[in-house]
Amino acid sequence: MTITTVAHTQSLAIPEGFFSQQPLIARAPGRINIIGEHTDYNNGFVLPAAIDKAVYVAVERRSDHIVRLYSTDYNEQYEFSLNSLTPTGTWCDYILGVVDQLLKAQLPITGFSLVLKGEVPIGAGLSSSAAVECAVAFALNELFDLELSRITMAGIAQQAEHTFAGVRCGIMDQFASLLGKKGYAVKLDCKTLAYDYIPLQMEGLSIVLWNTNVKHSLASSAYNERREQCRQGVTWVAEKYDGVESLREVTPAMLEETVAARNALVYKRCKYVLDENARLLAACEHLASGNMQALGQKMFESHSGLQHAYEVSCPELDLLVDWARDEPAVLGARMMGGGFGGCTINLVKEDAVEMLSERIAARYYGQTGLQLTTHVARIENGAEIII
Ligand code: GLA
């Protein structure tokens, strides 16, 4: 494929003649989450951060109603009309879902051409889909002078995931991708969307992602099922207690009283969410006071909850966390993101990262026949315009 001479075309591999002039280029990152898993759609707390792996989009306005999309990674091109957007079951949905939300909000957009290139591994629990949605929302906001706030764009990107990708996700991934800050984690209250930046100064420690390189197929159906179980629990508590709209207003005693005897599984799921919120609040204090050992302990506890109570882990993730527990150089480890595959997040003593990654990868290969990949996450800013 020949490359034009406009800036960044080389790294984005923009096909010759795709744009008539220098396109606008935006980047939006993937994310990690230190603790607070499956709490966002329950109005709880999360502690994500944007990372050094991002999605890039180049965009140019058109004067018609055509949306022309090219993916560098898939080497595929599609065209759609703004007048009839429906889910396609392809990578285009993460883009079209955003466009559909902009149209529904009656924002003044026209057709456009777009090139997409991603470096966030897909299915790794690093929110590659949110990164695409956020990069698109951010780029189109700039291209069409829509003047949307980052928080509004996060909501739009989340809705895109609901309507076009079919996953009823919370706000964490999109929020982190748009509002992340270099060197900081975002402590986000998903009920009010109030947030604080907490410095991630972890002297002598690295945030290491070990990718199982598996993604089990039940991930999105199980995700929606967990969400539904939590909603059921809330309904039962609310029959007895006024003002209960989410698990955030629910105490362990209320849960015990109104849900435990009615449905043990729903109780177990809801109790996990309450416990995870409590773990997150404790973890934030440990982080602020520099007690990394205690923070790591909360991460291990989080994993146990995800494995046994919320049941969204898988054997490959459990192996990695079990081995991490036996390593003195690992302060904390847990599965990250929606679950059923993807990465574990590990707090590892910096000087042991290389040796340990090699050892765990060899052990993982020996046990599963699968390759383990390691990424040491650097914490970066949220979405930005590059050109
Ligand atoms: C996925 C979703 C998020 C969040 C996590 C689990 O990443 O997109 O909204 O629910 O799973 O914490």
Catalytic residues: 173
The Cα 155–Cα 275 span in angstroms is 26
Residue 332 forms part of a structural domain: yes
Mutate to test the pocket of ligand 1, among 172, 178, 225, 299 (most ligand atoms within 8 A of CB): 172
Query: Mean pLDDT across the stretch 223-242?
Result: 97
Q: Is residue 219 pLDDT above 90, yes or no? A: no
Cα–Cα nearest to 336, from 37, 97, 28, 10? 37
How many Å from the N-terminal Cα to the C-terminal Cα in the chain? 23
Q: Is 160 in the pocket of ligand 1 (CB under 6 A)?
A: no
How confident is the model at residue 100, as a pLDDT? 98
pLDDT tens-place string over residues 233-252:
999 999 999 999 999 999 99
CA of 223 to the centre of ligand 1 (A): 8
Q: Is residue 13 pLDDT above 50, yes or no? A: yes
Query: Mean pLDDT across the stretch 364-386?
Result: 97
Residue 2 forms part of a structural domain: no
Query: Mean pLDDT across the stretch 35-54?
Result: 98
| Structure tokens belonging to residue 152 | 């509004």
How confident is the model at residue 5, as a pLDDT? 52
The Cα 12–Cα 33 span in angstroms is 28
Pair 223, 155 in one domain = no
Pair 160, 262 in one domain = no
Q: Is 170 in the pocket of ligand 1 (CB under 6 A)?
A: yes
The CA–CA distances, whole Å, from 342 to 32, 58, 75, 245 equal 12, 28, 24, 31
Residue 1 forms part of a structural domain: no
pLDDT tens-place string over residues 66-113:
999 999 999 999 999 999 999 999 999 999 999 999 999 999 999 999
CA of 41 to the centre of ligand 1 (A): 8
Pair 151, 24 in one domain = yes
Pair 40, 120 in one domain = yes
| Structure tokens belonging to residue 99 | 């466009």
How confident is the model at residue 201, as a pLDDT? 81
Pair 175, 285 in one domain = no
How confident is the model at residue 335, as a pLDDT? 98
CATH number at residue 335: 3.30.70.890
Q: Which residues partner with 71 through β-bridges?
A: 76, 116
The Cα 251–Cα 118 span in angstroms is 42
Pair 316, 300 in one domain = yes
Q: Is 133 in the pocket of ligand 1 (CB under 6 A)?
A: no
- Between strands 112-118 and 66-71, the pairing is parallel
Pair 316, 195 in one domain = no
pLDDT category at 8 given cuts 50, 70, 90 is: confident
From the CA of 129, give the closest atom in ligand 1: 8
CATH number at residue 100: 3.30.230.10
* Helix runs in the chain, H state only: 9-12, 93-104, 128-143, 150-160, 172-179, 219-240, 252-255, 264-289, 292-304, 315-325, 353-368
pLDDT tens-place string over residues 32-41:
999 999 999 9
Q: How many CA atoms lie within 13 A of 80 on its CB side?
A: 21
pLDDT category at 342 given cuts 50, 70, 90 is: very high
Residue 114 forms part of a structural domain: yes
Q: Is residue 293 pLDDT above 90, yes or no? A: yes
**Pair 330, 347: CB distance under 8 Å:** yes
Pair 190, 41 in one domain = yes
Q: Is residue 1 pLDDT above 60, yes or no? A: no
CA of 32 to the centre of ligand 1 (A): 11
Least reliable range by pLDDT among 197-201, 233-237, 265-269, 279-283: 197-201
Q: Which residues partner with 46 through β-bridges?
A: 188
Domain that residue 20 falls in: 7-200+381-385
Pair 314, 356 in one domain = yes
Q: Is residue 47 pLDDT above 50, yes or no? A: yes
The CA–CA distances, whole Å, from 286 to 235, 274, 282, 296 equal 34, 19, 6, 9
Pair 162, 85 in one domain = yes
Pair 22, 151 in one domain = yes
Q: Is 43 in the pocket of ligand 1 (CB under 6 A)?
A: no
Q: How many domains does the chain have?
A: 2
How confident is the model at residue 4, as a pLDDT? 47
- Residues 225-233: contacts with CB within 8 Å, 24+ apart? 226/38, 226/269, 226/310, 226/312, 227/41, 227/168, 229/265, 229/266, 229/269, 229/270, 230/41, 230/42, 230/269, 230/270, 230/273, 232/263, 232/266, 233/259, 233/266, 233/267, 233/269, 233/270
The Cα 294–Cα 297 span in angstroms is 5
pLDDT tens-place string over residues 168-197:
999 999 999 999 999 999 999 999 999 999
**Averaged confidence pLDDT in the chain:** 96
